[in-house]
Amino acid sequence: MVLVTPEKIASFMSLLPVPHSFAELDSLVSHGLPKQALKAIVDNIGLNSEERKQLLYRIVPEATYKRRRDKLSAEESERTERLARIYATAQYVWNSEDEARVFLHAPHPMLQGRTPLDVSMTELGARRVEELLWRLYYGIAA
């Protein structure tokens, strides 16, 4: 049973056509997501314009982002999808986009006082955040 679907992940990146399986989403990511996908997820996660800009440039350096015409590289696409997956999972667990945003920006003791957003910048860190979210969801001592 998949709780956070590829459709939900894609919706936070405004992807069209919408992938209906993780295989389809993986194919889109490996071929390079549209540049707009990064902008869409950053707009969903960021609390203000300055923070959105900083987050965008953490994923793709500013000069590189400005040079990109339409598509992100596979590596940049993976980072973009990871952000969308973490946000979709947080939104599912909290059942609120606002509360998901608050969670991602608040330091957490199970993450050594770092924010889930900061920890999610690496794949292993994102897995730690997902594990924490599911522990919270299922009421397992976090």
Tens-place pLDDT, residues 42-98: 999 998 999 999 999 999 999 999 998 999 999 999 999 999 999 999 999 999 999
Across 96-113, b (16+ Cβ under 10 Å) vs e yields eeeebbebbeeebebbee
Could you tell me the pLDDT band of residue 30, with boundaries at 50, 70 and 90? very high
Instruction: Please give the Cα distance from 4 to 69 (Å, whole number).
Output: 30
Statement: residue 142 has pLDDT above 60: no
**pLDDT at 106 (0 to 100):** 97
Q: In 3-state terms, what secondary structure has residue 131?
A: helix
Peptide bond into 107 cis (omega under 30): no
> For the purposes of burial, counting CB atoms within 10 Å of the CB of 29, is it exposed (0-12), middle (13-18) or buried (19 or more)?
buried
Indicate the helix (H) or strand (E) that contains 78.
helix 74-94
Spans of all domains in the chain: 6-137
- Higher per-residue pLDDT: 69 or 125: 125
The pLDDT value recorded for residue 141 is 67
pLDDT at 39 over 80: yes
Q: Write down the pTM of the prediction.
A: 0.94
Supply the mean pLDDT for the chain.
95
